[in-house]
């Protein structure tokens, strides 16, 4: 049973979901019934909204979340959404590898048949101090763990993302491609850790990491790897993409903390995409109640950069 408790900084639900989004979703459902054609399983309009995840902020308008992106395989600029349309979303398969019962390759649509999709509205905080609040469709990483069946000795889950010929940024020699991210098995099993396949009730756009990405709302956005093609299990902590480029600026843990400044800027506040309003940043991006316990035995590590 879900008990919804409103935290001090949360606002009422009517302030969270703009009317046009609700109406748009209703008309999508109505339209789908009339035409008896449903959008792909990745993000159907009839996927249930999980009411346990109240973001306490207005949802960012879709046009901002889908046109201001970080995706270095395409460009260092934020304006890459047109170029990203070239990334084919099907067929798409994911290699499950390393310390698990049976290494194998799984087709994304076969994977989607084995999980329960839901919609969650999460806050997303980039290390560059901009933020958005968006409705993701997807499933908890814990469901993926059940399907993958890692060995008891595995300690980390590593996500590797695609390298495709349509990505001009891959020819930049400076970057250590492929983009790799990782979390501990405990972090992956936390209920907040999510695999997204949809955004705003539609299939996840390529520029936001379609067809499948990680979404870790308590960590800086660079941990949320886009366009995943390989998920492996290991007992060794992986060196992640940004960590290998700038270990003093982008650490492995990367938990959001307003009190720990980036070496080149403050993390005390964030700019909301769309309104450009500046609001205070919350520890663990406001999700401390759900995740702080993951770190109680790791006080000596650099958890917040």
Residue numbers at the binding site for ligand MTE (CB under 6 A)? 69-73, 126, 161, 179, 208-209, 221-222, 224-227
For the bound state, the minimum distance from the C-beta of residue 211 to ligand MTE, rounded and expressed in Å, comes to 13
Place of tokens 């958005």: 132
For the bound state, the minimum distance from the C-beta of residue 246 to ligand MTE, rounded and expressed in Å, comes to 12
Query: CB-based contacts of 82: which residues, under 8 Å, 6+ apart?
Result: none
- Closest-approach residue to ligand MTE (CB): 221
Q: Which is nearer to ligand MTE, 122 or 233 (CB)?
A: 122
For the bound state, the minimum distance from the C-beta of residue 51 to ligand MTE, rounded and expressed in Å, comes to 23
For the bound state, the minimum distance from the C-beta of residue 17 to ligand MTE, rounded and expressed in Å, comes to 19
Which residue in 181, 178, 174 sits closest to 245, CA to CA?
174
Place of tokens 């046109």: 67
Q: Count CB-CB contacts under 10 A for residue 297.
A: 8
**Which residue stretches of 137-267 are H helix?**
141-148, 185-189, 241-245
Q: Which is nearer to ligand MTE, 114 or 163 (CB)?
A: 163
For the bound state, the minimum distance from the C-beta of residue 161 to ligand MTE, rounded and expressed in Å, comes to 4
Which residue in 169, 203, 196 sits closest to 84, CA to CA?
169
Q: Which is nearer to ligand MTE, 34 or 68 (CB)?
A: 68
- Give dist(CA 45, CA 69) in Å, integer: 24
- Give dist(CA 79, CA 72) in Å, integer: 11
Q: How is residue 274 written in tokens?
A: 């769309």
Q: Which is nearer to ligand MTE, 161 or 190 (CB)?
A: 161
CB 150 within 8 A of CB 185: yes
Per the DSSP assignment, residues forming a β-bridge with 124 are 132
Q: Which is nearer to ligand MTE, 32 or 58 (CB)?
A: 58
For the bound state, the minimum distance from the C-beta of residue 73 to ligand MTE, rounded and expressed in Å, comes to 6
Secondary structure element (H or E) that encloses residue 34, with its range: helix 19-35
Q: Which is nearer to ligand MTE, 70 or 190 (CB)?
A: 70
């Amino acid at each position: 049973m879900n008990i919804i408790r409103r935290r001090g900084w949360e606002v009422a639900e009517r302030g969270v979901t703009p009317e046009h989004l609700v109406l748009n979703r209703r008309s999508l459902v109505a339209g789908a019934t009339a035409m008896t054609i449903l959008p792909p399983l990745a993000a159907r309009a009839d996927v249930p909204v999980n009411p346990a995840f109240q973001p306490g902020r207005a949802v960012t308008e879709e046009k901002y979340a889908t046109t201001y992106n970080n995706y270095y395989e395409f460009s260092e600029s934020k304006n890459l959404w047109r170029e990203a349309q070239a990334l084919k979303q099907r067929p798409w398969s994911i290699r499950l590898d390393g310390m698990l019962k049976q290494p194998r390759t799984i087709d994304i649509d076969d994977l989607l048949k084995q999980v329960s999709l839901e919609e969650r509205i999460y806050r997303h905080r980039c290390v560059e101090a901009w933020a958005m609040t968006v409705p993701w469709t997807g499933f908890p990483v814990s469901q993926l763990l059940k399907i993958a069946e890692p060995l008891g000795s595995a300690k980390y889950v590593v996500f590797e993302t695609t390298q495709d010929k349509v990505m001009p940024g891959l020819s930049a020699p400076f970057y250590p491609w492929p983009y790799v991210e990782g979390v501990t098995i405990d972090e992956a099993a936390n209920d907040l850790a999510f695999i997204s396949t949809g955004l705003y009730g539609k299939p996840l756009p390529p520029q936001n990491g379609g067809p499948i990405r990680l979404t870790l709302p308590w960590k800086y956005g660079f941990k949320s790897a886009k366009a995943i093609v390989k998920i492996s299990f290991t007992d060794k902590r992986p060196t992640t993409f940004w960590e290998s480029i700038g270990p003093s600026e982008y650490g492995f843990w990367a938990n959001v903390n307003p009190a720990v400044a980036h070496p080149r800027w403050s993390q005390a506040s964030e700019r909301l995409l769309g309104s450009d309003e500046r609001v205070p940043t919350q520890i663990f991006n406001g999700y401390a109640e759900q995740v702080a316990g993951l770190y109680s035995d790791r006080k000596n590590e650099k958890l917040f950069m």
